[in-house]
Chain A
């Protein structure tokens, strides 16, 4: 009786192994079902999700104008101290003093892409960009100034 049980077990083992190997054989002969992406080679055709959180950027229009009022809502919303808003007072054409941003400093090396600054912004001045290759040779290159030099605030954004 022991011999029969033993042989049954061996038979079952061979059967289960063959079952698994059938799966392996199936994919060995069906190349089209393999979904490997050849990453650096397919860079041109790579489709990233629209909402992908890569880094914070400040979009500028063709007149080099942004929408940031310097209200520091993003700075307060950030959990890591990634964003620092440096403001200055500029003279408006009417001769009034007005607060505007001098620099919006963004530390990419501290950023966790949590999106809290973007949803906190009342004037939609900052958005998430879809870039994802952030490696650089020098750490100081990760500290970015988001507003372009000599950029101004758009008309009508308060």
Chain B
């Protein structure tokens, strides 16, 4: 049996496209179209998720992707990823250091007293998860009053620094972490140009997880937390803020700020381990980072970074330590594409399945008839 070309779905597909757009505008006269600023600010966490899973820090296009996909994070990230594939690569930044981050939130679960102090920033950590019914009929006046009140508050203080030292640096200074040699590190792996052929370096794992799907990362990290692994992390520092993107000025060569990127970063300390050569035991570490404000993703990534390091070193003993298992299953675009392709016509392959089943049934019938006679 050969494949057959069919036609006739064109009008239906166009109709489906129109229907989706009708649903977006279904409110009619009582509705107002979402503007990009509204999505970026009032759906901040959704927006951040799409930024990171799309792998492209383009706040305006991420908002547009959310709008056109009616809030479907996977579709929105897909649109952003598709857009990036049409653009030429112009450059790569120098290696940026997150100690330069302009922090808006910074906490530690390891120490209560950290240099510079802990700042909760904007968080739902302490929310009661009760419905705020007053928002059901929020008036524009009430909405604007909140921002106005915030700006009128005179409690701001210029003695707060823009940047803060890392908690890990104090542990490193105390000899509790292994020394690092910044100069010895190779060029990072570029997952946008090279396929993942295992074994891959850690930089490939970090880049893959940085644009991985939040739920996928969380699920595999959760398996480790529950017992299919033994990372037992302590969050040394979790920070949210803006990292300045520095690029050389084409004329002077001096580094100038081309813009800034909102990101989340998590550094975890895990169980200590000693080297084989009788070196001093030190804490092991894990690292997570992503575009936007997405703490669950950053923490899950840090746990997986730690478990993958274990798997790369000693061989995996559970799924979360297996680089191939983790890295080939956390990309939202890949997994969504494979999943949804099952909706597409499989008429020929299913016809083949039916033919095989009928043949097998006929053989079974003949066998049972033979046994009875």
A and B physically associate? no
Binding site for A on B (CB under 8 A): none
